[in-house]
Structure 1
């Protein structure tokens, strides 16, 4: 591109006919827009200072199109700006809508497998809720004699009959012959394989009792639920692992004057309906005593089996031990606690971790030495003694063994049996002090379970004790008593152990106000009477 050469009067010469030619950089030629007569250019000069030169243009500037005024040009420019802004706004709204649709799609993708698992669980439980009578061969069917349908129903305590691979008409035809021949005959026997699922009357009564029990405690559930969802001191669903249920809720004390002791709590739920929110009442009340609580969620059956539950609980405990300082907790004062099935899961995780640290297992991400005390609340620790008992209570052997990964795995998930292994003395010596709470009127898991485990631990050199509460059921210690308000023996025992090394906290506990009542006494008494637990 040719250089731009402009004639410039040399100030050192008096003659106007003599000119000096200076080279001008076209990139440094700003025009003065408000002067139609002259244009100011910054000219590169061989002199040290830059010279501003006014040059009269050869042609005056005119609008690009004849008849167009500056006002119309400005209006057109503003219109273009508005159009571009509108397009950008529409694009932004479109992107936001797409983002919302993608977010909704992700939520649906996440909810779909959870819904499938819950549906499959419901169907499986319905299948196990009755008395199963299966006749595989025709000869076996003919050998069964029932003399009276009324007697059959009365003896078995049946409420209704569900049939698989057989029609109701076939059963009616068969029953019509019972009174005459005392045997099943007719169309009923035409089925090569007939499965009769008999839903027991006792299960119907248990569901009714559960409904009444929940209704009696409903005022307390409402208040606890409000605190759980709307309190600023509850951090919900903190991720601790890569599984969908690897979440925990953190209950923070009101005072933040220093690191607080922490309770890592594993909730119960018969290994099937456990959920982290079940510990919200305990978390709320312990946080009022300057104790931080982490309620750990885990995979339930059939989403996972026992080994998955122990794995999830161990990951949650590891998170508490390694990350709790970021939330104001004291990593040197971590306590492990579990209730019912959660007590069993937490005990298995603790024993398994001790075995790993003793050199019998894989790598570890936390240490049993970080756990000051283990608290077991209404838990079961010897599955060999509980299989038949659970079967009689409605958790049938087949489904229980499915949860525990077969009969061959019962020993692996029985802490009371494992600690008696002479080859694991080193691992057993690493266990922290263990305190087991249990009610003597517990019909879900007998109190002997905690008593026997404590005695076994003592026999192998572990500091352990069982504290039994006379007349308390499976849920009294965990629900009814805390909702009653006032002084709660089990709660006070728990707090006193946690604060045993903190004189200042003990002084505060002595003057702590009594807890507020959540449910009227007559409703608590009714709940105690109708409780299916």
Structure 2
């Protein structure tokens, strides 16, 4: 007489598929819950169909097999009862009768499978998370002297107006960096900071704000909510609302509402581009908008990505896993909506493309967080649509070189020089003043910056 399967005292998981038992002849039942768990661990590596196929015989009995003398083997009462019910009722009733046992078995299977899955996920995610955490810790330590000076300026300077509220959602605030010279209306840069859509914060733009306000340019660093609190649609809405506030109120702070430039860095460049293209499409369709794309003098994208389809696999290999990124971007069906390059290639949006301002895309050629091909491709797409656009490549520069290490070196920052030259184009007085500006002081020793560049996780 064969031993019955031991009951497993675990509650059922209704979300998991039931495991239907089989009564195929010649199989040996599992002797214990440990044996079941061990078997489940092996089959958990296979597809769902394969798992079900292999579990069936393992959970069956040889109740229907006959002995060598033709005598039927004894079976547990549960299965004897089930065979009797099979002769007189439908398979639906059978499933209902056996559901309690099946659920317990299914739960044992799922627990083992999920435990293994969680362990593998923990090892994979944990390894990358820990290595990047260690890297960013050392990176932050190496550039810490520069951070201290920037933070001191951010919290002590009278030129910085912090936490100006632009909306009614959490983090709907912006910082203004105002030039010391109050004469005349100043050009304005509405800046969206980066942070992988997860750690974006307005204070990350402090170093850029300080450099530009020294050259008589007002900088508005717009904050926005991050994932997982919100997804990309809310981030774009926050940015758009912040841009609207700048248009409507910057004159109160000495800014020129007719000389407003939009700029973003990394994830912020993507968010800013999404807001810009979305606004252009609304205007082309005659929808009501709170600000006009035609009033943007130019768009500057720094180390940004503009086609999510091309970046999905790249981000996955970098540790921003596909499942997480898709949740962040509101699912695979929304990738098109939040890919400015793809949206503009749609013939239906050709009128929207005609409304876009001149575009300059800055990128380092050794950027391994977001490849420089992202900016090149977007610039080519814009040019094909008649938009004045160019991609400016910085040879040998990484994702953080252009935005962090180079400004902390002091002296002449190539990207800032190009940016200011574009903003002050046509203003001879401002250009002369820029040429006589004293070089900025170094914030971090060179050997520390070179080491920080080497271990940067970005």
- Give the structure-1-normalised TM-score: 0.65
Secondary structure of the corresponding residue to residue 391 of structure 2: strand
* From 294, 302, 307, the counterpart of 2:228: 302
CA RMSD of aligned residues (A): 1.7
Any idea what the Cα deviations from partners look like across 1:473-496, whole Å, max 9, x if unmatched?
101000000000001111100000
* From 327, 344, 354, the counterpart of 2:280: 354
Question: How do 1:54-453 and structure 2 match up within 5 A?
Answer: 141-143=41-43, 191-195=111-115, 196-197=118-119, 198-200=122-124, 201-359=127-285, 362-453=287-378
Give 1:143 shift.
Answer: 3.8
Contact map agreement 1:138 1:189 (CA 8 A) in 2: no
Distance (Å, rounded) in 1 between the aligned partners of 2:37 and 2:399: 43
Q: Higher Cα Rg: structure 1 or 2? A: 1
Question: How do 1:484-495 and structure 2 match up within 5 A?
Answer: 484-495=409-420
Give 1:204 shift.
Answer: 2.1
Give 1:408 shift.
Answer: 0.3
Secondary structure of the corresponding residue to residue 305 of structure 2: coil
Give 1:193 shift.
Answer: 4.0
Contact map agreement 2:40 2:109 (CA 8 A) in 1: no
Give 1:141 shift.
Answer: 2.9
Secondary structure of the corresponding residue to residue 269 of structure 2: helix
C-alpha distance 426-191 of structure 1, shift in aligned 2 (>3 A): closer
Distance (Å, rounded) in 1 between the aligned partners of 2:183 and 2:391: 34
Distance (Å, rounded) in 1 between the aligned partners of 2:141 and 2:345: 44
Give 1:208 shift.
Answer: 1.1
Any idea what the Cα deviations from partners look like across 1:461-510, whole Å, max 9, x if unmatched?
11100001011010100000000000111110000000002111001011
Give 1:202 shift.
Answer: 3.7
* Residue number in structure 1 paired with 2:94: none
Any idea what the Cα deviations from partners look like across 1:407-458, whole Å, max 9, x if unmatched?
0000000000011111111111000000000001111100000001001111
Structure with more contact order per residue of length (Cα contacts < 8 Å, sep ≥ 6): 2
Distance (Å, rounded) in 2 between the aligned partners of 1:137 and 1:285: 62
* From 396, 407, 410, the counterpart of 1:482: 407
Are 2:439 and 1:519 aligned? no
More strand by share: 1
Any idea what the Cα deviations from partners look like across 1:237-265, whole Å, max 9, x if unmatched?
00111111110000000101110000000
- The size of the alignment, in residue pairs, is 355
Structure 1 spans left out of the alignment, 5+ residues = 1-135, 146-187
* Residue number in structure 2 paired with 1:60: none
Give 1:192 shift.
Answer: 5.0
Contact map agreement 1:381 1:415 (CA 8 A) in 2: yes
Distance (Å, rounded) in 2 between the aligned partners of 1:349 and 1:194: 40
Distance (Å, rounded) in 1 between the aligned partners of 2:306 and 2:454: 27
Are 2:398 and 1:468 aligned? no
Give 1:139 shift.
Answer: 6.2
Distance (Å, rounded) in 2 between the aligned partners of 1:193 and 1:426: 53
Contact map agreement 1:269 1:341 (CA 8 A) in 2: yes
Contact map agreement 2:41 2:113 (CA 8 A) in 1: no
Secondary structure of the corresponding residue to residue 419 of structure 1: helix
Distance (Å, rounded) in 2 between the aligned partners of 1:199 and 1:479: 32
Any idea what the Cα deviations from partners look like across 1:296-318, whole Å, max 9, x if unmatched?
00010111111100000000101
* Residue number in structure 1 paired with 2:384: 459
* Residue number in structure 1 paired with 2:64: none
Contact map agreement 1:354 1:368 (CA 8 A) in 2: yes
* Residue number in structure 1 paired with 2:74: none
Secondary structure of the corresponding residue to residue 379 of structure 2: helix
Secondary structure of the corresponding residue to residue 238 of structure 1: strand
Contact map agreement 2:128 2:319 (CA 8 A) in 1: no
Contact map agreement 1:296 1:313 (CA 8 A) in 2: yes
C-alpha distance 422-137 of structure 1, shift in aligned 2 (>3 A): farther
Secondary structure of the corresponding residue to residue 140 of structure 2: helix
C-alpha distance 346-190 of structure 1, shift in aligned 2 (>3 A): closer
